[in-house]
Structure formats: C-alpha cells, structure tokens
Structure 1
Amino acid sequence: MQLSLNGRWNLFYFEPGQGVQKGAHREDFSERDAIAVDVPGDVHTALIRAGILPDPYYDENPEACGWVEDYEWWYRTRFSVPSDMQGERFDLVFEGLDTLADIYLNGEKVGSAQNMFTPYRFDVTEHLRRGGENTLAICFHSVVLEAEKKDVSRYWAAFYKPRVWVRKAQMNWGWDWGPRFVTVGVWRPVRLEAHSVARIAHLFAHTLRLTENGAEVRLSAEIEVIGEEQRPLVVSFFVRDHGQDWGVSAPVIDGKAETTLWMDAPQLWWTHDLGKPHLYTVEAELLDGAKAVHADSIRFGVRTIEVDQSPGLEPETTNFTFVLNGVKIFAKGADWIPADNLIGSIPAERYRKLVQMARDANMNMLRVWGGGIYESPEFYDACDEMGVLVWQDFMFSCAAYPDDDEDFVKEVRREAEVVVKQLRNHPCIALWCGNNENQWIDSMIHWNEPEFPFFGKRIYDEVLPQVCAQHDPSRLYWHGSPWGGDDANSDKAGDKHNWQVWAGMIYPRTSREEPRSNPTPEGVSYRHYAHDKGRFISEFGMHGAPVLRTLQRNIPPEQFFYDSEGFLYRIKDPDTSRKERMFEAHVWQPRDIQEFVLLSQFVQAEGLKFGIEHYRRRKFECSGALFWQLNDCWPGISWSVIDYYLNPKGAYHYVARAFAPLLYTFRQEEDGSVTLWSVNDRTEPASGDLRVRRMRLDGTVISEEEHRVQVPANSSQQLLRLAPATDPATEFLVVQVKRGHHAPDNVHFFAEWKHLKMPKAAVQAVFTPKGQEGSCWECELRSDKVAHFVHLVFPQDAVQVSDNYLLLLPGEPRTIEFTCPEPCDPRQVQVWGFNVSKVECEVRG
C-alpha cells in the first residue's frame, strides 16, 4: 500500500548552513513566510510563479536567476497516515532529489541523498507517527558550494570543471546550446509505502530467442524480505494481452524468482516504420502461501535487438548495424537533450509531443545524450508506444571524471545498477553507451602525452560493462560515443561524430596525431558530408534560427536587430562567428534578423538533407544518421530542428522527407555528371514510374525522361547517370513518382546557392477552411516561376502542418493542411521563400 506525497509543499531559503540553526527541520518551525512549491517540480519554477524570479528566458534573465544556486533550499510538508495503511515496515520513497539533500521526519534526520539520477528509499518505521500528523522536511545544499571544495586539478571539463564531482545533469552549468541553470528541488514523485513479509523490488522481462512459431521469454523478480524471518515465497507471473494470457510461477531463491515462458505466435515489437510496436503487460504477484503480500507490473515488448559488427565491405572496416528481430535497420533520427532547462517541471504532454514529432518525421531512433538526464518515464513510454528506438548514454559528457576516487566510483556503480534496472524493460532501448565524447576529446587534449591517465576509463571499461552484463545481458554495451577504431572518432568502426561541418575539424585522424582544423568557409561547408566514410554517424549538424516570433518574444525591442547584444545572447556556441562562415560558404550575409532567420534555416535544412541523403545512399556501409539535435531546452539559436515552443524549423520538414521510407536521391559525381539512387528501408520491394526532368530556373523544361524502376527491399542502389549541366547557374534536376509506391519529390541544383540565378517569384496562396471551428485549414500554393523554400509562417506556436518549406514549380500547385491550437485567421499567416518577391493571399469559404 502507498500514500502519494505529491502536491503543494512549502519552500524556504537560507544562507548555506543556516537552515538547521534556524530550526527549518523542526516540527514547530514557522511556515508563515513560505513560498508555494509543487512536488514534483523545482525551485526556479516556484520562484517564477511567486514573482520572485522574472521570466527566465526573456532577454538576459538567466543571469538574474543565478543567485538561486548559492542558497540552501528547504521543502516542507505535513501528512497523516491513513488508518487502513498497515505494514511491518514503512518506507519514504523519493524518485528524484536534485541533488545534495538531507531528509528529516518529525525533526529527526532519516537519510541523505547525493545523486540526482537515482531514487532513494528510507526506512522510517521508527520515526513515523501512525496516529497523528507527520512533518517532512528536506534540506537541499548548494551543489556549487560543495563542488568547488573539490580538487579538480587533475581533470578537464567543458564549461565548468567542478561539475565532474556532482552526479547531476551536466548541462545545468551551461552548454553550447543552453544557459546556466543549476536546478534544485524534489523533481520526481514522493510517496510513503507500507510492506509486510517481503516486496517485489524489481521485475525484468526479456526475449531470449525468437523462432517462426514463438518466443522464449525470461521472467525474473528481485525480492526484498522484510524482517528476519525467512519464509517460502513464490512469485506468480502473468503475461497479459487483451484477453490472451500466459502464466507461470517460480519460487524465491536467494532473493530472486526466475523462470522462462514460451509464447506461441506472439506479436512482436517493431519500430513504427517496420510494423506495430506491440506491448505486453507482465503482472507479478508475490505469495506467502496462499496470501498475496505484494504485486507489481511492467510493460515489455517481445523483440530481439543486436548490433552487427561483422567485417565491412570496405577494407579494414567493421559494420555497426542494428538488427531488430533479425532485420537489419538503418537508424534514422536525432540526438535528444532535456526538453527544458527547468527539468523538474517538464509536463508529460511535452515529452509525448516531441516524440510524436520525431516519429512523424520518419525517425526510428533518438539518442539520449550523456550530458542531460536519464529521461522521464513519459519519454520512454512514448518511445515504446510509438515505435522509436533509444540509444541510451550514461550521464557522463565532455569531461574527465574522477575514477581515481573510490567513493565516486562506488556511487557511479550504484547509479548504473539502479538505472539499468529501471529502464531495461523498455523495448525502445537499443543500446547502453558509456558517455558522450570523453574518449575522443581526451585523446585530442593529450595526443602527445601517451602516459597521461585517461580519467574515466575505469568507469567506461570496467564498471559500466560489468553492471550491464550482470543486469541486462539483452543489449550491447558500447564504451562511448563516438567510439571504435584506432581513433575514437574513426571512419572504420563504431560510431562517429562529424564536426568537420560547422566546426571545421579535419578527418580522418589517428589517436596520436595532432588535431587539425580548417575554420574557413570552405572548411566548414556542409559539402564535406559527401566525403564522410563513417560507419554510423551519431552526431552531425549546424545551426538554424528558430521561427521569427520566438526571437521577437525573447529579445527586447531595443535589441531587436542582427548581431545586437540581445541577439547574440541567444547563441551559446562560444564562437558566434561560425554562422558568418557558414553563410559565406553557401549563401550570403544577412542584412537583418528576418533575413537571418530565412538564411540560417535554409542552410541548416539543405545541409542536413545533403548529409542524410549521403549517409542513406551508403546503406549498410553506413547504418545510421542521428543528427544534432532534435529539440531545444530554451528559446535560443541552436542546432535543433524544433524550437523551444515546438515550432518546426525548415530543417524539420527537410529531414522528414530525407528520412522517408522510400527515397530517390541525386548524387553529384566528380566528372560533373549526376547519378540517381533509390533507397528503400521497407522489408518489401518497391516499384514505380519515375519522371526525371532537367529544367531551367525560369521554369522551362530542357528535357524529360520516364523510367520504370524496381527497388529491392532494404536496399540502396544506383539507378541512372545523367549528363552534367550546360549552365550550372540556371539548371536543376527534379525527380517525381508518377505511378507506384510513394516517395517525396526530390531536386538537385548544380551550383552553390550563392551562384544560382534565381528568378523573382510571385506566389499565390489560397486558404480554405477544413471544418467549422476555424482551427483547421488547407492552403494551396502556386508560383509563376520556380520558387524555393516556400513556407507558411504562422501567428501561433506549435501549429501542426502536413508539410512546409517546399519547392514550387510553375503550373504545379502544392497543398498544405494545418491545424492551429486555437482558431486562427489565415490572413495573419505569412508566406516566405528563398526567392519569393510577391505574395497574393485569398481566403475562401
């Protein structure tokens, strides 16, 4: 039995060390000056609601919130135990405390916490009043104050070195896409539990093997006995699925009940692009004789997941291909960061919306990056239900960690054991990964110091693999990202981060070679993706502005001009001049913020499309493309394709088309010719009649051909070779499916954007209502000339739109459907484009 302690608590703050002196832990402490705080939640959100902190994301207000990290914060609440809540032992359970905390019940200290990522359970039987009111108080110490007491002279870290000692979201101290917010508080649920005899501590269900006829599933339960008496206990397992049930029992031996179950003809869990992500429920009942003393349940999917690391086709290479239920897959997706800086106050619907947007953009994998958090249950549940795989980093990023400190290593081991047991039942999780970029960066820092110790190696090479092997043998443990080959960022094995584009790094490199870079417009151009021979690309990308209204909402009017102090504050990349180099490589320098939004979104969209199509054409020499990054934690200018207010950027729609299950894609060859390729991620062959046109930018057709094509299942192949352009500045190619399996239209321009002779296009937009409420509309777009990157700019946030950022050809209208969160007037919708000079809008109906 359990009692939820979530809800409205009282909040107080003191100078460090003053809370106990002032009696904040005592039952008789005056709560007259309390600040209301939600549990789960965080201190910053409570202070914003109380008017003590300003809007944290407007202007430079993150600086005005910085004082929070310097204080000691106290949470207090009162509760009574219901008379029917009986048990031999009572536990206070905290799913998440951020971060260094002391817990007091009725004035007595009952426990401490030092890790944001793990739950804590405290036996409070001796301290609990069952017949009266109880006072619960939690003191949160300043993590900054405590971290800065530590010796960091032996270690390196990006952004803030003392963070390596604190098991807390590393991005709290700022990153190159977000501001510094050192959060604090009760960020996950709290409850009181009562138990007798024993309790089920953990459940685990995983598929041992699949055959044509069924699946063998391993079921286990970890049991904690209450008290000293040892009794013969049994666990009954039931696998349930809408009336179809399987049942089996197992005795508890040495604290564990384990058994196997054969499931005839089960429905498998697939990614959404290959099938249905079917989920089963496992119910477990702990029996003391005929009496049930505890019950628990989990969901799981019948599926196997492996990584094929067999020798590659290219010399001295190794594959890195995920295999789901025996089917090789190309991983298509993005890197995920926390959905808000104020981590404890992220609503469940935000998680579900972001995962849904990823799925709708044809993504089948998200990588949970190692500088954030082990995500909310709502995130993993959404991925389970929507058929999206998760590459799961452990929370170590861009730093050397103190693995020479035994207490730190002990805490890391405990953290890993807890996290693996918590998350292993989610079928979405495809792989455990030791860290983000630590081996790679360390090898660059100490490239000429072969004897210098790599702090963290013991964690990634001993502790984490041991924990994963013991508690989850069903998945691969991978030592880091990137990792594999002589250099951690090798082209020949494992996964790779491509930061040649945007940052100018030069590849390939060996582990003891001095790092080189070319931070020139030519050196950072996204055209370098065409030469990437990586086996699995788990990071690549470039900046793109959020929609204009996001910047208008957060930059003060007097600062609302290009490269103002307020504008540059939105960019957390330390080198803000990178945007100018990228513009110079591909387009031209913007003259104002509106043109900056247009050009940066355009370059980001075209660059990600260029890279993704290159990686997909190399299937399965390359087996994955996870770009940096899906989402934002604040309204900044970053690598994300969805801004903080859930507005998709141009790159989001480009990525959705580039990740389509069936894709026809052009490749520029060195001799000037162009080859047309097909990529099919489905497990069935495809066919179609393709219309391939060579056109001029004024809309005239130079030539047209039609080809009947057969595309094998799960393949990439070259279809055609087309002649070079006569005039690269005015010609382009278009491929469209006339009949057959659907694939998005695609286009190839022969020259760089800044060299194209784009015409001035006039676009007509006709809006027609869909339904009576005024929220759903259809828009037909037409252009008199070739018009590129044509898109609707909405007056509301989080508009759901079927497609956007389109190429319009003369005489070929395109239709977009969109749904606004609230009724909207389409006359307030703007139409922008790369070369649109005139727009006429009409509203019908």
Structure 2
Amino acid sequence: MLGESSFRASASIHSPSREVYMTVFAPWLLHDFAPGEGERQQAHTPALDTESWLPVAVPGDVHRTLVAAGRLPEPFYDRNEPEADWIQEREWWYRTILTGPHDALAPDERLRLVFDGVDTYATYYLNGEVLGESRNMFREHDFDVTDSLRPGPNTLAVRLDPPLQHVELAQVPAWDPEIIKPKVAMRKAQFGYGWDWGPVLPTFGLWRGVELRRERAARLTGVQFATVSLNAAHTFAVVTASAEVERFATDAPLSAEFTLTLPSGEAMTRQLTLEAGQTAGEVSFELRDPALWWTRDLGTPALHGLEVRLLLDDQPLDQLSQKVGVRTLHLDQSPDADEPGTRFFRFVLNGLPIFARGANWIPADSFVGTLTRERYEPLIRLAQQGHMNMLRVWGGGVYEHDAFYDLCDELGLLVWQDFMFACAPYPETDELAREVRAEAEYQVRRLRSHASLALWCGNNENQWIQEMRYLTRATGDLYYAKILPEVVAALDGQVPYWPGSPYGGNDHNSMLDGDRHNWDVWHGQRPIVRQFGDPIGLDRTLEGVSYRNYAVDLGRFISEFGMHAAPALRTLRRVIPEGELYHHSPSMDHHNKDNPKNKGDALMEGTTGLPGDLAEYLLFSQVAQAEGLKFGIEHYRRRMPHCSGALIWQLNDCWPVLSWSVIDSDNVPKAGYWFARRAFAPLLASVKTLEDGGAEVWLTSERREEVRDTLTVRLMDVAGQTLWTRDVDAGISHGQSHSVLRLEAGELQADGGHYLRLESRGGHFEASTHFFVEIKDLRLPQTLPTLEARAQPDGSLSLSVTASQYSYLVHFTSDEVIGFSDNFFDLEAGQSRTITATHPDRALRPEDVELKMFQARQPQPQP
C-alpha cells in the first residue's frame, strides 16, 4: 500500500509501542542506475529532480514495484523468469522526505533512525551525507541522527548495490561449482538464487519497515519471559521477566515496571530498580493454577500479556509489550532402552512427551517484502486445522515476520527455527563471523519469548552433505558449533539448540540418534541404512522410489520427507499459457525446478500408472503424494515413542510450481494435505502390512486423556459387501502406540477388489481404508456419487454426497479458492457425507463447485 509511512505499533518486542513522530516520511520513491551512476547523478542529494522515479511501498520489493509500473513482465508467468535477471545487475535507490521535529531536543534526548530489514548491501544518506552502510538482510540497522536531522524536511536516500559484486572475489569452499557460488558469502536469503522448488529471483528492497524514534536517557533493548518451574500437577508455576537497557544519557537509577495480564484479565505488577550504571534486571511471578500454553491437540494455547515500562523519576522512557505463554519445553535425548544403542529425540511440553506432527515452512512468496499477516494467516490456519503441531522455519529462507510467530503463538503451533544457513559450505572469515554473531544476537532477542519457539537449529543439511560427499568437517562449523550456541546460551538459555538438521549418530542422517531427512524415497538414495564413510548411490527404479520404502526407516525424528504433486488447475492457469497446459510442456517443466524433470513419473507409474493427459497428471501426481504421505506418517507414528516427529517437506510454496508442497501458492490444499490431516489426527487407527502377507491393526494416541472406544474392522469388497467384521477394544492412553489385532494372510483377500475398513463406534478415531494393492490395480467402480448442493443463509454451501458403490478420492474443485470442511475422501456403498464450502468474500452458488472422484483405468485381463 502506497502513501505516507508511519510508525507501526504491534504487540511484539520487535515492533514495540514507543513515542515517535506519527507521520514523518513522505511517500517513498524508487529508481535504478548502472553501478556507480547514482551518486554521480546526485541521487542522494536534496536537489535531485525525482519526476521519473517510481512510487514504491515500504515494506516492499523492487520486483513487484516494476511489475506494477509495467517495466517488468510478471516473472512467475510462463518462462519470464530470466526477464528479471537485469535487476540484480543494477543499483537501486530509495528516497523519501523525512520530517525532523521542530521543537528542540532536551540534552538527554536523541533521534534514532531504524531500518528493520534492508536487502542487502546498502549505503544510507541523509541530506547528501553518508550515514553508514549495512550488509546483512537478517538484522536491524540503526543510526543516531540527533546531530544530522534538521527541523522540517530532510532528504533520506538508500542505495542498494548489486549484491554479487560484493562477493564475486570471495573465497568459497568448493562443493558443486554449479550450485555453490559466492552467494554463500552474503547474509542474504539463499533461496532467491534458485532452489529445487524455487525460481532465480534474487530480491532487493526495504523489505521491512523504517522508523524514526525519539528517545530520552535510556531505552529497552530486549525483554525475556521464561517459565522456570512448573509442578507435575500443573497447579503452580514460577515465571520470570527480565529487561535489558541501553543507557545513552544517564547513569541515574531507573525503574522497570513489569505487568503480567492473565487470560482471565487479572493483572500482576512487579517493580524493579536498576541502580546507577545497571543495565539488566529480572523479576518473578508465582502463579497458582496457571493457564498453560499447549499445542491445540493437547489443550488451549493460553496467552498472557506482558508489558514492561522503563521510567526515570517516574517519567516513562520506553515501553515494550508482547503476548507470552506459560509453558515448559525441553528436548529429551535420553537413551531409548527398548532399542539399545539409540537415543530419543523428542520434545517434552509441560512435562508431557509429544510427537511433532507438522511440516517445513519456506518463504510464502519469492518477494518476501510483500508478505503481510493477511497472507500468513490462511496458511498457518490450514496447518493448525490439518492437525499439525509444529512448523519448521527452513534455513535457506528468512527469519519470518513477527506475524508468523504471533500466529503460531495464538494457534498453538510449535516452531523449529533454523538459523539461515542451508546446503552449502560457508566461508569462515572474520567479517562474516562478526555479521553472523550480530544477526544471531538480534534474532535471539527478537524471538526468544515466543511461546511457540521450540528449537534453535544451526543450519539445514550442511554437516550431512559435507560428510556424505567429502568425509570431512563442515566448513561453517565456526558458526554452528561455536558462535550460534554461544549466543543462544547467553541470550536465551531456555530454548534448546541443535547444531544442524539432520545431525547426530553414526551418520549425520542417522536412524540411531538426532533428526533425519528421508530423501531415500523421492531421490532413491541408497543405502537407506548408512554410516559415516559409506558411499551414496541412486536407485530410481519403480521399486527404488516407492513410498513403501518408508517402512524401513527407523529414524528418531523425521524432520524432512515428502514427494512431488502438481498444484490445482486454477493455479497453473495463472502462469502457464493455454497451449502449454500439458505434462512436460516447456512451460510446465520450467515450473518444475527439480531435476531430472521426469523424477515424479516413476512414483506415478508405480502408484496410479502414467497419466495420459493434463487432468490425469494433476490427479495422479496428487494421489501418489497423498498415498505416500499417508503411508509414511502412519509408519512413523506407529513407531512412537522411538520415533517422535514427522515433518512433511513442505507445507507451502513461494510461487506457482510443481513441488513437494501440500498447499499450493494460491492456498489450495492438495490431496496430500487432506490425507496428512487424517493421518495426523491425535487418535490414529492404521494397518501395518506384514512380510508373511498378514496384517496388524494399530492404535496410536496423542490425546492427554485416556480414550475408551470400540474399533470395528471390516473386510469389504468394492461393491459394498461385508465379508467379515471384528470388534476390538480401543482403549488407549497418551503416548501409546500398539497393535490391537493380528490378521493372518488367509483371512484377507488381498486383491484389487477388497479392502479393510476401520471405524470406531464412538467416533474418536478417523475412519481409515487400507488397500492390498496399488491404486492402479484397484477394481474401482466408475459411478460418480450423487450431489445435492444447497446455498445457506450465511453464504456457505452445504454439499451432500451419496455413493452407490465404493468411491475413492471423492473431491470438489473450483475455479476459485474455496474452503472445504473436508475434501479428497472416500465413501462406502450407501454412505452419505455433508461438506461445507465457504468463500472469503462472497456467497457461494451450487455452480461454483464441481464433484469429481478418482476413476482408475481398469486392469486388462491377463492372457
């Protein structure tokens, strides 16, 4: 949104409430020059004529500004991506008029200009004079302008240099020269230079806000909230709140006032005196029957309000506020006695071991400066509604916006937070080490008090790839083994630190210890069971990439696993020309960044058969992903507590693409999202196939309370006939996962015409279907269920579906982004279900949705 920039107050430590001039910036302007030309043309001086400059949003991004001005074709469309290459070869200038205060500052006052995020190599000018420079996208940069800011109008300019020119001569440790380039010497989002799901669109811009702060005597530089004790009965807790202070014009005693507001509305206040010269202090609160912060599957994510005021002689100097949660959390890595030689890797929340069910989060847009809370909220709500309790912020993107962490706090989602290092050997220079330390200090202070924060992690895959390829120490261990853990220990001390992901054991991707990335399935990596020094090979046959290989994974915590699926047709139509809407068209392959481009074909061939047209490709790829995720999640959850986490790669996309995401870039959930949602339900009934042809029925529980129910197991044929029924006691407690029924091979008719159906009488467990053959070999009926769609007074649609025969993958599609209460489900013969459809902006009509199901090609008779 363009217009006058003003101070943004929010309930976070990053953007605190402060007394500042409410409207001090005129609209920002943007222009580009050849490198070095901006200063020569006086772009930094007040006298410059800016008539040809473009209006630009702050926070924002250069690319989107150019698209809006007609200077750049939509980079996501067709193969336009290279049309933006010239942007990274220019220098980009931002300018605005900054109004200084007309009243004189007191002797103990100052003016501080704060840039929350600048991407990346920047020089700052005020009234033609250099204020300073910065070279890190991931931290705040500030300047004391007390003596240089004039009353009334001032010209503020920011020059952004072509980033690669600053590192083109950097000595970068060699891995693959086609992948590892000098970009790793920059503290800049690495995904912008391309990934196996992302385009090459390096960003530029003032990607976060700019503020002028008028401060007196001292300011708060950080606040930390921590739960230091919680008794086993959860009836008593002790929490602490601490404040850090910068004194810039006083050594006198200061007062800090801490107010903790309980969810009930009751407020508790503590006073603290910071004696002369003292710059930090702490208070404690004792809470009886505290309202605890839980993930949604275990309770309510109760939030308290924390406000800290800094005073001098009873006059307020500064104030910070944040929502906080009362909870304990630690990482249990004790030996697993039931599997000798292994250790747990499980999170313990409020004394309760949990299974982390969730997904990896990548930036939600290639142009991260354009993201707002309104863009984050639908995705994070879908994660929470999908029975997820953890998101991992991946290390090749960015430390996310405050809104991301606020939403995770509110919705009860834990956050695994990578530091921003990914898939590369990072040079260990003094300059880069200083930047990494400053970045870590800033981010730890910013994020440490979020109730959702569960883990600090040093990097993504750096130690693993280094050892796997070169059998040597990872270049970058200066950061992961020294600087980052030092900063976390000094400034946090509550949230655990882990050196990398994956990491631990007799291989950095071990099944015995630490966390593990399972790319054995999608990439066909072999051997699946590996130790330090074992060579890596590939098996991309149908058997090599079969999702059934998840069954041999005995990892402790699976922090990445997944497989490709196409997005919705409406999403593709936005970016693929009509004449190229077919599988492996040049434009479609351009929107698939994984190589080779046909890697997913083997997965489809083994699961659904190869597609014959676009409609089949979209559906078959989503079926293969969905069935694979269901199989993997159920396997990992049956292994609880030996396995204590399964995080899908990946939740979301940064552009319209064929990728591992379960929600596409238009926020349309794929079939894999709905299958994972059912497999992630706190109570799970599943079937494990045995090598002798038999099967076991398993129950798994992550409910805090004991559950009593009866599970009905039926052997069915696709025409709706019940061959036999078994009722099983389904009593289970939290953290349990065990077999409740064994079925011998002779009891099963393991062919394409039969399946096992699991349902619970009390409705505690999601209904589940187990097939004995691949989807392509099922003898599925071809009759579409009937649909009755009724518009409701609130603008929603009530969709009643009835099947005459067994119907697999019943689903609704639309040309718009419509929310469904459920989708991609199966129906038994004679079964009816009612689904609710909603639109965020208008009332729906029956013609807005279309009913479909999976109709497999019928197997040909064998000669």
Could you say which TM-score interval applies, normalised by the shorter chain? Answer: over 0.9
Which amino acid letter does the alignment assign opposite residue 750 of structure 1?
A: F
Alignment of 1:447-526 (within 5 A): 447=471, 450=472, 453-506=473-526, 507-526=528-547
Matched, 1:701 2:719: no
Q: What pairs up with 1:244-263 in 2 under 5 angstroms?
A: 244-252=266-274, 254-263=278-287
Stretches of structure 1 that go unaligned for 5 or more consecutive residues are 839-845
What's the secondary structure of 1:710's corresponding residue?
Answer: coil
Query: SS where residue 299 of structure 1 aligns?
Result: strand
Q: 2:246 aligns with which of 201, 205, 224?
A: 224
Contact 2:180 2:424 in 1 (8 A): no
Opposite residue 64 of structure 2, the aligned amino acid is T
Aligned to 2:785, what secondary structure does the other structure show?
strand
1:370 match: 395
Q: Which of 427, 434, 437 is residue 461 of structure 2 equivalent to?
A: 437
The answer on whether the counterparts of 2:709 and 2:729 sit within 8 Å (CA) in structure 1 is yes
Q: Percent identity?
A: 42
Q: 1:659 aligns with which of 676, 680, 695?
A: 680
Q: For structure 1, which segment, 620-629 or 7-16, has the greater mean C-alpha deviation from structure 2 after superposition? A: 7-16
Moved more, 812-821 or 822-831: 822-831
Q: Secondary structure at 2:198's aligned position in 1?
A: coil
Q: Which residue in the other structure is 1:636 paired with?
A: 657
8 Å contact from structure 2 (residues 172, 425) kept in 1: no
Aligned to 1:720: 741
1:736 aligns with 2:736: no
Q: Which of 285, 305, 308 lines up with 2:309 in the alignment?
A: 285
Alignment of 1:725-804 (within 5 A): 725-738=748-761, 740-771=762-793, 773=795, 776-797=796-817, 799-804=818-823
Task: Map Cα deviations across residues 45-69 of structure 1 (whole Å, 9 max, x no partner).
Answer: 1111111112221111222122111
Kindly report the root-mean-square deviation, in angstroms, between the aligned alpha carbons of the 2 structures.
1.7
Residues 1:837 and 1:599: Cα distance change in structure 2 (over 3 Å) = closer
Aligned partner of residue 306 in structure 1, secondary structure: strand
* Counterpart Cα distance in 2 of 1:203 and 1:502: 44
| 2: CA distance, partners of 1:358 / 1:460 | 29
Alpha-carbon distance change, 248 to 727 in structure 1, aligned in 2, over 3 angstroms: closer
Cα displacement (A) at 1:440: 0.5
Alignment of 1:594-673 (within 5 A): 594-673=615-694
Shift, 1:689, TM fit? 2.3
Preserved CA contact (<8 Å) 1:431 1:475 = yes
2:10 corresponds to: none
Return the match for 1:18 from 37, 48, 64: 37
Distance 1:63 1:8 in 2: 30
- For 2:217 and 2:423, the matched residues in 1 are separated by 46
Structure 1 residues 729 and 434: alpha-carbon distance in aligned structure 2, compared to 1, 3 A threshold: same
C-alpha contact 1:763 1:836 (8 A) present in aligned 2: no
Partner letter of residue 400 of structure 1?
Answer: P
Separation in structure 2 between the aligned mates of residue 146 and residue 102 of structure 1, nearest angstrom: 13
Please report how far the alpha carbon of residue 158 of structure 1 lies from its aligned counterpart in structure 2 after TM superposition: 7.3
Please report how far the alpha carbon of residue 109 of structure 1 lies from its aligned counterpart in structure 2 after TM superposition. 0.8
Q: Which amino acid aligns with 2:343?
A: T
CA distance in 2, matches of 1:697, 1:214: 56
2: CA distance, partners of 1:208 / 1:818: 45
Query: Matches of 2:104 and 2:578 in 1, distance apart?
Result: 58
**Does the CA contact (< 8 Å) of 1:281 and 1:298 recur in 2?**
yes
Task: Report the residue type matching 1:435 in the other structure.
Answer: N
Deviations, residues 151-172 of structure 1 (Å, cap 9, x unaligned): 2254657735111111011101
Given that 1:686 and 1:741 are in contact with CA atoms closer than 8 Å, whether structure 2 keeps it comes out as: no
- Shift in Å, 1:489: 0.3
Partner of 1:842: none
TM-score, structure 2 length as denominator?
A: 0.94
CA displacement at 1:690 relative to structure 2: 2.1
Amino acid at match of 1:823: A
Q: Distance in 2 between matches of 1:667 and 1:57?
A: 43
| Alignment correspondent of 2:575 | 554
Q: Deviations over 1:64-123 (max 9, x none)?
A: 122111110000000213446955210000110011101111111111111001011110
| Residue-by-residue CA offset, 1:542-580 (whole Å, 9 max, x unaligned) | 001101111122111121222110111110002212111
Q: C-alpha distance in 1, partners of 2:410/2:710? A: 35
SS of residue in 2 equivalent to 1:491: coil
User: Which amino acid in structure 1 is aligned with residue 183 of structure 2?
Assistant: R
Number of aligned pairs? 827
Which residue identity lines up with residue 2 of structure 1 in the other structure? Answer: V
C-alpha change, 1:443 and 1:768, in structure 2 (3 Å) is: same
SS at match of 1:63: helix
Deviations 1:359-400 (A, max 9, x none): 000000000000000000000000000110000000000000
CA distance in 2, matches of 1:84, 1:316: 71
CA shift at 1:438, angstroms? 0.4
Pair 1:337-2:365 in alignment: no
Aligned to 2:12: none
Task: Please give the secondary structure, in 2, of the residue aligned with 1:353.
Answer: helix
Q: Encode CA deviations 1:248-272: one digit per residue, 9 max, x unaligned.
A: 2223253112233322332111111
Letter in 2 for 1:350: R
What are the Cα deviations for residues 701-752 of structure 1, in whole angstroms up to 9, with x where unaligned?
A: 21122333211233111111123233422211001122x2522110111112
The amino acid of 1:73's aligned partner reads W
**1:835 matched to 2:855:** yes
Q: 1:383 to 1:84 in 2, by over 3 A?
A: farther
CA deviations on 1:507-556 (whole Å, 9 max, x unpaired) are: 11111111122121111110011111000000000001101111122111
- Classify the secondary structure of the residue corresponding to 2:294: coil
Change (3 A) 1:469 1:772: closer
**SS at 1:179 equivalent:** strand
SS in 2 for 1:522: coil
Contact 2:26 2:96 in 1 (8 A): no
Contact 2:25 2:99 in 1 (8 A): no
1:202 aligns with 2:222: yes
Give the corresponding residue for 2:213: 193
1:128 is matched with: 149
Offset of residue 697 of structure 1? 2.1
SS state of the match for residue 29, structure 2? strand
Which residue does the alignment assign to 2:552?
A: 531
Moved more, 521-530 or 284-293: 284-293
Match of 1:841 in 2: none
SS of 2:567's partner is coil
Show the counterpart of 1:214.
Answer: 236
